[in-house]
Structure 1
Amino acid sequence: MFILTGAGSMVASCFGACAMTAVCTGLGEIMKRSARLAYCLLFVLSMLLAWVLRDFAQPIMEKIPWIVRHDFPEDSDAWYGKQAVFRVSLGNFLFFSCLSMALVGVKYKSDRRGTFLQHGGWMIKIVLWLAFNALPFFLPNQVINSYAWIARPGAGLFLIVQMLILLDFSHTLNDSLVGAEEERYLYLLLAATVGCFLGSLGLSALMFIWFHPSGAGSCSLNVFLITSSLLLVAGYSVLSVTSAAKNGSLFTSSMIGAYCTYLTYSALASEPHDYPCNGIGERITAASGSTLVLSMLGTLAAVVWSALRAGSNTALFSTAGAPEETGEPLLETNGADEERGEKAMDEFEPVAYSYSFFHLIFALASMYIGMLMTGWGVGAEEKDLIDVGWASVWVKVAAQWFTALLYVWTLVAPALLPDRAFD
């Protein structure tokens, strides 16, 4: 028996060493192409770890003496799973927050912090990442519960950043297509606008079928959410073509409308699957394991994409741009002086994006994942699924309304505050 136990430990150690080698090798190859992709891989691994521990953490965490479950009304399996998710979320929040603070003020590629901390030192960073993921499992419950309360507004801030990125992207794309000299881009703009509006109407019609099934009662809440979504889309679409909206456009309204309609669908789909008005819930409950896996992977991929795009789009949140280039030199220079000047200019070449802001977004995304997998801290209402429960429903409804109000403000703000610039 002792021999078998020792052999099992040796095999486990070998597997751990192989996994560590594979991660280091993979990150090394990815890092050569893009440091951002390497950080995304670390984030994805953490999300998958949190996902697995959420459903299978109880046998492990019951053996940790300082993680004590008190007499909560919550199911023990769900309680341990929620604690595991929060601890992985906290570990990644600390990892990315430390990198964000360490890289504050890096503006030029010559800064050694950018060379080593952002693009190099991967062996050290992987060890630190593993340490940060393990550290929260040595902390008492009180610390984790406090982090859960802090993570709620942090996750909400991540959603707000997502909305700002969407608004900026839609305005930028609209200006690019309108400013294009070729007529085909205008036809593309028209087709995209019509497509987004038709997609919103079509999805709304399907929602009336899926989330207001016959025999389920009035389903007044679902009817109200779908109807209010349609009215919001119609309202700010009409507003965008009036004289009150100087920067309005139907294309931007159609994109925001499609996003708000999707949020409504996502909110209704997050209703508990035993809720009579959730017609999709019964089908998903009976779905195969592969369908559930694909659904969860799609949700996690959307979070990674949002974090990567938001972290790389620093122009929207920065107040100062890159240093302006100077004109022609006042005095002529010889070859040696010119070469020294080029080296000096290379030292002051600005970085492509804010390293500190990039890691800050991933820190907020770590909080968001913690909320997403635990039903925003009130306990997951469906085992083996994520983002299901009434807390998730109302968070998405609030996000939809906030997005609509934010877009309406961008339309009317130039008219209400004519003395301020809204470029």
Structure 2
Amino acid sequence: MCTPPCCVSQLACCCGTAACSCCCNCCPKIKQSTGTRIMYALYFLLVTIVCVIMMSPTVEEQFKTHIPLYKELCEKLNPGDKCKTLVGYTAVYKVCFGMSCFFLFFSFFTFRVNNSDGCRAAVHNGFWLLKFIALGACCVGAFFIPQEEIFLEVWRYVGTACASIFLLIQLMTLVEFAHRWNTNWSSGVKYSRFWYAALAFVTLTLFTLAVGAVVFMGVYYTHPKACLHNKIFLGINGSLCFIVSMLAISPCIQKLQPTSGLLQPGVISVYVMYLTFSAFSSKPIEMVKINDVNTTVCVFPFNSGLESDKKIVTALGTVILFGCILYSCLTSTTRRNSAALRVCRNSEPETERARCCFCFGDDTDDYDEERTGSGQNVVYDEKEATIYSYSYFHFVFFLGSLYVMMTVTNWFNYKNHEIEKFLDGSWDVYWLKMACSWVCLIIYMMTLIAPMICPKRFEA
């Protein structure tokens, strides 16, 4: 049960400027900056789940069956010919429009906020109930936009441009994550053999997964008489992963970047193989004649005539996708990660403390702490300066909203698309995912050779 002091603190969190915390004293202390980002991520995830549900035809049938006056409600909301305003890609476009407007407004509202003492920072870090109501109002209000056809056409191209920018940020964040992981764990090698064993084990596991993925796709996603694109691109991506792995441990790179090792190319190789697999799964089916029978080739091999296996792959791909989105939104906005994305070395050497959970850790812990006596303790870590850029944080979520919109609606193949057919893509999706894998490899390769091209910029 919630104790009265804790209930009061939670009400202050929802309707006032207090930072949010769990109503449980046994929970570890949480930093204000971390709690705020988690709350916005929950908002983002909630709207994303709504968008996924809206793309299901099952939901449409349930709407028609259980919602009173469904047809009359549709007629007031600019319906299409089949009254699909509340579901389908048009609904997702409108909901994501509302969410993107919400984050874009806060991006402008929090511009040049440097500490958490001002009123704008207080709005950013508190008033969660009021902001939730505002987010819901933005999403609902989008359904009353006039001239629906013009809006959808224009918004589609805006979404494509912004989603492409977010894809680039996501790939750069992944490369930064690989470098930071290796740097953090390598710093513990000199003090404990445990970190050396952990580094070796994880590296071996990653390359095992990457090689296993190449073998798996070579066996099941290629065919002697078909799937020429799959054969070519699997060979190209596998070769590029091998090249960057050898480059990472080459003497010329080791001389300029002593911490460079096989962990980073292991992370990149696994992600590139995932993108390759996702591209192969999104390609339109191909059929060849085997014993005078038209047979579908280069498809997921474990269907066994059922849809259950494909749903498992779809669910796994969705979880990985939105996990990458949330990680990109939450971590690419920290000042430390933003500096890393610019591919430069700080003027002062960076002190690292090896730890298993390093993604959201900060360097200092000397902050004021609110001890409520009941409930989770909150550490106020932004009294002197903000840990991350508020404005850029919201802008990344704005881009992420449009990336979700384009991904859930299958980019330019939105008509008659269903979330159950998440992996049933097209040549557009196929080329997009293959291009992402190449960009990821190019970005990582540039982080390796950049110190050789511009040595003065990387001098300690």
What range describes the TM-score normalised by the shorter chain of this pair?
0.7 to 0.9
Structure 2 matches for 1:12-411, cutoff 5 A?
Answer: 28=14, 31-33=20-22, 34-56=35-57, 63-64=74-75, 67=78, 69=80, 81-115=88-122, 117-139=123-145, 140-180=148-188, 181=190, 182-212=192-222, 217-245=225-253, 246-247=256-257, 248-272=260-284, 276-280=296-300, 283=303, 286-288=306-308, 291=312, 294-295=315-316, 298-299=319-320, 301-317=322-338, 348-379=383-414, 383=418, 384-386=420-422, 388-390=424-426, 391-411=428-448
Question: What letter corresponds to residue 362 of structure 1 in structure 2?
Answer: F
- Which one-letter code corresponds to 1:374 in the other structure? T
Partner AA of 2:209 in structure 1: G
Question: Are 2:457 and 1:420 equivalent residues in the alignment?
Answer: yes
Kept in 2, the 8 Å contact 1:244–1:411? The answer is no
Deviation at 1:190, TM superposition (A): 2.1
Q: Deviations over 1:398-423 (max 9, x none)?
A: 11000111111111111122232377
Relative to structure 1, the CA distance from residue 388 to residue 100 in structure 2 (aligned partners, 3 Å threshold; closer, same or farther) is farther
Deviations 1:287-316 (A, max 9, x none): 249747844752564255324433553322
Which residue number in structure 1 is paired with residue 369 of structure 2?
none
Aligned residues: 369
Please say if residues 175 and 444 of structure 2, whose CA atoms lie closer than 8 Å, have aligned partners that are also in contact. yes
Change (3 A) 1:313 1:213: farther
Preserved contact between residue 220 and residue 301 of structure 2 (Cα < 8 Å)? no
Structure 2 CA distance, aligned partners of 1:305 and 1:262?
18
Q: CA deviation at 1:47?
A: 1.3
Partners of 1:85 and 1:393 lie apart in 2 by 22
Instruction: State how far apart, in whole Å, the 1-side matches of 2:328 and 2:103 are.
Output: 12
Greater mean deviation of Cα atoms: 371-380 or 230-239: 371-380
What TM-score, normalized by structure 2, do the two folds share? Answer: 0.70
Deviations 1:182-238 (A, max 9, x none): 233223222222221121101110112221258xx3211111121111101111112
Change in Cα spacing, 1:230 to 1:300, as seen in structure 2 (3 Å) is closer
Deviation at 1:94, TM superposition (A): 0.5
Measured in 2, the distance between the counterparts of 1:121 and 1:89 equals 22
Tell me the TM-score normalised to structure 1 length: 0.76
Residue 293 and residue 407 in structure 1: after superposition, are their counterparts in 2 closer, same or farther (change >3 A)?
closer
Compared with structure 1, are the counterparts of its residues 66 and 233 closer, same or farther at alpha carbon in structure 2 (3 Å cutoff)? same
CA distance in 2, matches of 1:87, 1:122: 23
Residues 263 and 396 of structure 1 are in contact (CA less than 8 Å); yes or no, is this contact kept in structure 2?
yes
Distance 1:111 1:388, change over 3 A: farther
Greater CA deviation, 306-315 or 258-267? 306-315
User: Which ranges of structure 1 fall in alignment gaps of 5 or more residues?
Assistant: 1-23, 325-344
1:54 and 1:202, CA in 2 relative to 1: closer, same or farther beyond 3 A?
same
Shift of 1:92: 0.7
Deviation at 1:251, TM superposition (A): 1.9
- What is the rounded CA distance, in whole Å, between the counterparts of 2:77 and 2:381 in structure 1? 53
Residue 127 of structure 1 and its aligned partner are, at CA, apart by 1.9
> Aligned partners of 1:395 and 1:45: how far apart in 2?
26
Q: Match of 1:31, SS?
A: coil
Identity percentage of aligned residues: 22
Query: Unpaired segments of 5 or more residues in structure 2?
Result: 1-9, 23-34, 65-69, 288-295, 349-379
**Shift in CA distance, 292/417, structure 1 to aligned 2, threshold 3 Å:** closer
Corresponding residue number in structure 2 for 1:4: none
Contact between 1:68 and 1:141, CA under 8 Å: does it hold in 2?
Answer: no
Q: Provide closer, same or farther for how the CA distance between residues 226 and 382 of structure 1 changes in structure 2, counting only shifts above 3 A.
A: farther
Higher relative contact order (CA 8 A, sep 6+): 2
CA contact (8 A) 1:272 1:281 kept: no
Whether the aligned pair in 1 keeps the contact of 2:74 and 2:85 (CA below 8 Å) is: no
Q: CA separation in 2, counterparts of 1:418 and 1:94?
A: 42
